[in-house]
Structure 1
Amino acid sequence: MIASVNITEHHLANGLRVVLSEDHSTPAAAVNVWYDVGSRYEERGQTGLTHLFCKLMFYGSASVGSNGHFELVQGAGGTLNATTSFERANFFETMPAHQLELALWLEADRMGSVLVAIGDTEMGWARDSCMNERRQRYDNVPYGTSFEKLTAMVYPEGHPYHHTPIGLNADRNAVTLEQVRAYFRSYYTPDNAVLSVVGDIDPERTLGWIEKYFGSIPSPGRRPPRRDGTLPDLIGRELREAVEDDVPSRAVMAAYRLPRDGKRACDAADLALTILGGGESSRLYNRLVRQDRIAGAAGFGLLRLSGAPCLGWLDVKATGHAATGALEAAVDDELARFATEGPRPEELERAQAQLEREWLDRLATVAGRADELCRFSLLFGDPQLVWSALGNVLTITPEEVRAVAARYLVRNNRAVLTYEPYWDYS
Structure 2
Amino acid sequence: MSRRIFDPIRWARIFALAAVTVPVTSAAAAPAPSIQGEPPSLSIEKTRLANGLEVILHEDHRTPIVTTNVWYHVGSKDEPSGRNGFAHLFEHLMFQGSKHVPEDAYFRFLERVGATDVNGTTSTDRTNYYETVPKNRLNLALWLESDRMGFLLSHVDELTFTGQRDVVKNERRQNYENAPYGLVVQYIYERLYPVGHPYHFLTIGTPRDLDAASLEDVKSFFRTWYAPNNATLVIAGDFDRTKTLELVEKYFGPIPSGALPARAPVPPVTLAKEVRLDVAAGVELPRVYITWPTPPMFAPGDGDLDLLSHVLSSGKTSRLYKKLVYDLQIAADISASQDSSQLGSTFEIVATAQPGHTAQELLKAIDEELALVRSGGVKSEELARAKTSVLSGLTFSLERTASRADRINLYNQYMGDPRYLAKDLARYEQATASSVQDVARRYLPADKRIVTVVTPEKGAPVAGRLKGGS
Aligned-partner SS, 1:86: coil
Work out whether residues 340 and 346 of structure 2, in 8 Å CA contact, stay in contact via their aligned partners in 1: yes
* CA–CA distance in structure 2, aligned partners of residues 228 and 247 of structure 1: 41
Give the drift of 1:393: 0.8
Please, which moves more after superposition, 141-150 or 79-88? 141-150
Give the drift of 1:4: 5.8
Work out whether residues 42 and 421 of structure 2, in 8 Å CA contact, stay in contact via their aligned partners in 1: no
* CA–CA distance in structure 2, aligned partners of residues 280 and 228 of structure 1: 42
In the alignment, what sits opposite 2:431? 396
Matched, 1:379 2:414: yes
In the alignment, what sits opposite 1:322? 357
Alignment deviations for residues 310-351 of structure 1 (CA, whole Å, 9 cap, x no partner): 111211000011111111000100111001111100000000
* CA–CA distance in structure 1, aligned partners of residues 111 and 450 of structure 2: 44
In the alignment, what sits opposite 2:371? 336
Please point out which of 265, 279, 282 is paired with 1:246: 282
Work out whether residues 297 and 414 of structure 2, in 8 Å CA contact, stay in contact via their aligned partners in 1: no
In the alignment, what sits opposite 2:273? 237
Work out whether residues 302 and 338 of structure 2, in 8 Å CA contact, stay in contact via their aligned partners in 1: no
Please point out which of 407, 418, 426 is paired with 2:453: 418
Q: What is the TM-score with the length of structure 2 in the denominator?
A: 0.87
Work out whether residues 41 and 419 of structure 2, in 8 Å CA contact, stay in contact via their aligned partners in 1: no
Matched, 1:123 2:197: no
Alignment deviations for residues 58-85 of structure 1 (CA, whole Å, 9 cap, x no partner): 1110110111111011111112100000
Aligned-partner SS, 1:114: helix
Alignment deviations for residues 256-312 of structure 1 (CA, whole Å, 9 cap, x no partner): 1111112231111111111112233321111110011100101001111122x2111
Letter in 1 for 2:406: D
Mind listing any 5+ residue stretches in structure 1 that lack a counterpart? none
Please, which moves more after superposition, 154-163 or 398-407? 154-163
Please point out which of 261, 271, 283 is paired with 1:224: 261
In the alignment, what sits opposite 1:345? 380
Greater RCO, 1 or 2 (C-alpha within 8 Å, sep 6+): 2
The 5-angstrom pairing of residues 13-412 of structure 1 reads 13-79=50-116, 80-221=118-259, 223-232=260-269, 234-307=270-343, 309-412=344-447
The percentage of aligned residue pairs carrying the same residue is 37
* CA–CA distance in structure 2, aligned partners of residues 412 and 161 of structure 1: 23
Equivalenced residues, count: 421
Work out whether residues 237 and 411 of structure 1, in 8 Å CA contact, stay in contact via their aligned partners in 2: no
Work out whether residues 5 and 23 of structure 1, in 8 Å CA contact, stay in contact via their aligned partners in 2: no
Work out whether residues 268 and 396 of structure 1, in 8 Å CA contact, stay in contact via their aligned partners in 2: yes
* CA–CA distance in structure 1, aligned partners of residues 62 and 282 of structure 2: 50
Letter in 2 for 1:306: Q
* CA–CA distance in structure 2, aligned partners of residues 112 and 423 of structure 1: 52
* CA–CA distance in structure 1, aligned partners of residues 73 and 91 of structure 2: 14
Aligned-partner SS, 1:204: helix
Work out whether residues 41 and 421 of structure 2, in 8 Å CA contact, stay in contact via their aligned partners in 1: no
Alignment deviations for residues 84-130 of structure 1 (CA, whole Å, 9 cap, x no partner): 00000000001111111110110000000001111100011111110
| RMSD of Structure 2 on Structure 1 (CA) | 1.3
* CA–CA distance in structure 1, aligned partners of residues 250 and 371 of structure 2: 59
Give the drift of 1:423: 4.5
* CA–CA distance in structure 2, aligned partners of residues 229 and 87 of structure 1: 13
* CA–CA distance in structure 2, aligned partners of residues 325 and 93 of structure 1: 47
Work out whether residues 150 and 254 of structure 1, in 8 Å CA contact, stay in contact via their aligned partners in 2: no
Q: What is the TM-score with the length of structure 1 in the denominator?
A: 0.96
Give the drift of 1:182: 0.6
Please, which moves more after superposition, 375-384 or 77-86? 375-384
Letter in 2 for 1:198: A
Give the drift of 1:6: 1.1
* CA–CA distance in structure 2, aligned partners of residues 289 and 91 of structure 1: 40
In the alignment, what sits opposite 2:37? none
